[in-house]
């Protein structure tokens, strides 16, 4: 999955696959997680949020199952 760099102190890059509705997040620690079943509108809201780290913690982690992919 191709990720785009973002301006965040907690998140380094994000990517999204529309067909599988998978969000991939690379944190500044280097760890990468995939969140499953994420709607495209939620991905758009993530990109527009003032704080990507807070958005992931409050609106992604509690609601979507995740898979730890490993370090980038």
Q: How far is 62 from 9, CA to CA, in rounded Å?
A: 20
pLDDT in tens, 25-68: 999 999 999 999 999 999 999 999 999 999 999 999 999 999 99
Report the DSSP pairing between strands 4-5 and 11-17.
antiparallel
Reported confidence tier of residue 7, pLDDT bands at 50, 70, 90: very high
Reported confidence tier of residue 1, pLDDT bands at 50, 70, 90: confident
Is residue 72's pLDDT more than 90? no
In contact, 16 and 22? CB cutoff 8 Å: yes
Torsion, CA 20, CA 26, CA 27, CA 29, rounded to 10 = 140
Q: What is the pTM of this model?
A: 0.95
- Write down the pLDDT at residue 51: 97
């Amino acid at each position: 999955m191709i990720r785009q760099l973002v301006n965040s102190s907690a998140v380094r890059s994000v990517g999204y696959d529309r067909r599988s509705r998978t969000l991939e997040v690379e944190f500044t620690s280097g760890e990468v997680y995939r969140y499953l079943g994420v709607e495209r509108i939620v991905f758009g809201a993530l990109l527009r949020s003032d704080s990507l780290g807070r958005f992931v913690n409050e609106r992604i982690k509690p609601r979507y199952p995740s898979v730890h992919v490993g370090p980038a």
